[in-house]
Chains A and B, each alone.
Chain A
Amino acid sequence: QSVLTQPPSVSGAPGQRVTITCTGSSSNIGAGNEAHWYQQLPGTAPKLLIYSNNNRPSGVPDRFSGSTSGTSASLAITGLQALDEADYYCQSYDSSLRGYVFGAGTKVSVL
C-alpha cells in the first residue's frame, strides 16, 4: 500500500480537462514537503512533469499544471490529447519515514 494515494485510472475525451488527486498525510504533503509529478509512457522511464507543487520543467506544455491543498496535491491536464495517455505518479518526501515516497500511479485514458 502506497503512502500517497492516487485513483487507479481517470479518463476523458479529447480536449477535456482531467484531474488526478494525490492524497498524503501530515508527514509528507501536509508537512509542507513539496509534491512532484511524473509521466511514464509505456516501456519508458518516468519523466518529471511538475516539480515543487506547481512548476513545469522546460519543454513541458502549459496544459499540465499542479496544485496543493492541505495534505493533497493535484495534477490537471487541460486540452486532453491522445499522446497524454500514460501513467502518472505523484511523489513527495516523508518526514516520518525519512525517505522519498510515490503514489501507486494513475492511468490516464483518452476516450
Chain B
Amino acid sequence: QVQLQESGPGLVKPSQTLSLTCTVSGDSINSGSYYYNWIRQPAGKGLEWIGHIYTTDGDITYNPSLKSRVTISLDMSKKQFSLKLSSVTAADTAVYYCATLKYDAFDIWGQGTVVTVSS
C-alpha cells in the first residue's frame, strides 16, 4: 500500500516560488505505473486539481488555469515528486495535498501541508 507525505516551507513570500515535495513509501516508485498528483484546498473552500506526472513515461498534465506557473517533477531515486508554483500571491494560500490517481479517482492522499503566502 502506497503512503504519501508532503513536506516543504509553511510560509512563502508574495511573488516568490512555492516548492513542495511528496515522499512515497510503502511501495516502490519504480514498480507499477502511477499518476502522482497535486491538489490544493484554500481554508474553508473546495478542492482544486493542480496537475500530475505519470511514472511510466514522465508525461505531465497541468490544470490549464495554473499551467503558466506550475512545474511538477519526479525523482525516482529519492522516491519523491515535487511541485513548484511561481509568482505566488495570497490566493495561493492553501493546504496542499499529494495523491495517487486510479480509475480517474484520487484513491490515496497525503495528510496535506499548509502553505501561507505572506510577507
Interface pair B105/A52, CB less than 8 Å apart: yes
B interface residues, how many (CB within 8 angstroms)? 21
- The 8 A CB mask of B78-113 against A (1 = contact, 0 = none) is 000000000000000000010000111111011110
With a CB–CB cut-off of 8 A, which chain B residues contact A84? none
**Is B47 in contact with A102, judged by CB distance below 8 angstroms?**
yes
Contacts A/B (CB < 8 Å), 27 sampled:
A2-B46, A34-B104, A36-B104, A38-B106, A45-B97, A45-B110, A45-B112, A46-B47, A46-B106, A48-B106, A51-B103, A51-B105, A51-B107, A52-B105, A98-B61, A98-B64, A99-B61, A99-B63, A99-B64, A100-B37, A100-B49, A100-B106, A101-B49, A102-B48, A104-B46, A105-B46, A105-B47
Which residues of A sit under 8 angstroms from B104, Cβ to Cβ?
33-34, 36, 52, 92-93, 100
User: Which B residues fall within an 8 A CB radius of A?
Assistant: 37, 45-49, 61-64, 97, 102-107, 109-112
Is A63 on the interface with B (CB-CB < 8 A)?
no
Contact B49 A102 (CB under 8 A): yes
Cβ-based interface call for A91 (8 A): yes
Docked Cα-Cα span, A73 to B109, in Å, equals: 23
Question: Number of contacts between A and B (CB, 8 Å)?
Answer: 61
Question: In the complex, which residues of chain A have a beta carbon less than 8 angstroms from the beta carbon of B106?
Answer: 36, 38, 46, 48, 91, 100
Q: How far is the CA of A38 from the CA of B107 in the complex (A)?
A: 9
Specify which chain B residues have a CB less than 8 angstroms from the CB of A36 in the assembled complex: 104-106
Q: Which residue of A lies closest to B47 (CB)?
A: A102
Nearest chain A residue, comparing its CB with the CB of B112: A45
> Number of A residues whose C-beta is below 8 Å from B?
26
Residues of B with C-beta under 8 A to A38: 47, 106
Q: Does A57 contact B (CB under 8 A)?
A: yes
Most buried by A among B61, B106, B111: B106
A34 to B61 CA separation, bound complex (whole angstroms): 19
Answer whether A48 and B105 are a contact pair too, CB < 8 Å, given A102-B47, A103-B46. yes
B41 to chain A, nearest CB (A): 8
| A23-48 Cβ-contact flags toward B at 8 Å (1 or 0) | 00000000001101010000011111
Q: Could you tell me the distance between the alpha carbons of A97 and B47 in the complex, rounded to whole angstroms?
A: 16
